[in-house]
Amino acid sequence: MILHSNALPSESETEMMDETNDSVVTLHPHADRSQNLRIVEAMLFASAEPISIEKFQEFLSEGTDVLGLLADLQNNYENRGVNLVQVAGKWALRTAQDMSAILRRETTEQKKLTKAALETLSICAYHQPVTRAEIEDIRGVAISKGTLDNLLEIGWVRMRGRRKTPGRPVTYGTTPAFLSHFGLNELTDLPGLHELKAAGLLDGNIPPGFDVPMPRVTDELTADEDPLDGTEQLPLEMHLPEVDVASPPEETP
């Protein structure tokens, strides 16, 4: 049985019929939001790196509530195999934490950093901006250029500027890639004294007054830093073995 309706077409239906040649369709606001969600989701899947709010806005119409769209997607992915997370102020899809044990067999084993590199990376993170001499002073050991070279090559440490002191040594700090790799949104998310003690990373016999420094949040140069002058690609340091600063090597007769 065929039912016939005498109802007149709505204004939107008339617009669709009148403009069939140009395929112009006026979407409902909810349809617009659905399309924007699809765009944001597609960008997250296609990108190998976390995406900033500004990058999302380049592909969306002006006035789009990007944070609202991301919040909706974050809720949608909350109980799924991948989660939408914020790292280094940007957004990315990451494997859910409870899936890590299941997928561990599928991951590629990466070469571990040396103890010297880990200590240097920690000092750069907590004390930045910091010079090579200041790193050696904190560690009590003279480091080789290769240690900083490796961290710079990985992309976890960068040259920030030059200290306004004699010799104008280069200052170092961490990068967004460092935050992204360790799942941090900003440097203030680094573990403090109590967290480090609970994790067994600090000795129980901590000297009185010892505290973990508060990392800088901003990447802007400090008052005692000058911008890089473009000569930093030249060899900055000699390749030296690590030597205890307190015990210099004996001179040969």
Q: Give the domains, in start order, of the chain with CATH numbers.
A: 27-96 (1.10.10.10), 115-242 (1.10.10.10)
Burial of 37 per CB tally in 10 Å (0-12, 13-18, 19+): middle
φ and ψ of 109, to 5 deg? -70, 130
pLDDT tens digits along 62-97: 889 999 999 999 999 999 999 999 998 999 999 998
Residue 19: per-residue pLDDT = 47
Residue 204: per-residue pLDDT = 61
| DSSP state at residue 33 | H
Average the pLDDT over 215-223 and give the result.
Answer: 82
Residue 237: per-residue pLDDT = 45
Tokens, residue 185: 């949104």
pTM, entire model: 0.56
Residue with tokens 């750069």: 124
Residue 198: per-residue pLDDT = 77
Residue 30: per-residue pLDDT = 57
Average the pLDDT over 2-7 and give the result.
Answer: 47
Strand partners, 226: 162
Average the pLDDT over 222-242 and give the result.
Answer: 67
Say which residue, 105 or 10, is predicted with more confidence: 105
Range name among 21-30, 116-125, 137-146, 171-180 with the lowest pLDDT average: 21-30
Residue 165: C-alpha distances to residues 135, 179, 219 (Å): 16, 29, 20
Half-sphere exposure of 25 (CA within 13 A, CB side): 6
Residue 67 neighbours by CB distance under 10 Å:
11
State the chain's mean pLDDT as an integer: 79
* pLDDT at residue 230 is higher than 50: yes
Residue 250: per-residue pLDDT = 44
How far apart are alpha carbons 191 and 48 in whole angstroms?
A: 27
Closest C-alpha to 196, from 145, 125, 146, 95: 125
Residue 44: per-residue pLDDT = 95
pLDDT tens digits along 152-174: 999 999 999 999 999 999 999 99
* pLDDT at residue 21 is higher than 70: no
* pLDDT at residue 2 is higher than 70: no
pLDDT tens digits along 127-138: 999 999 999 999
Residue 137: per-residue pLDDT = 93
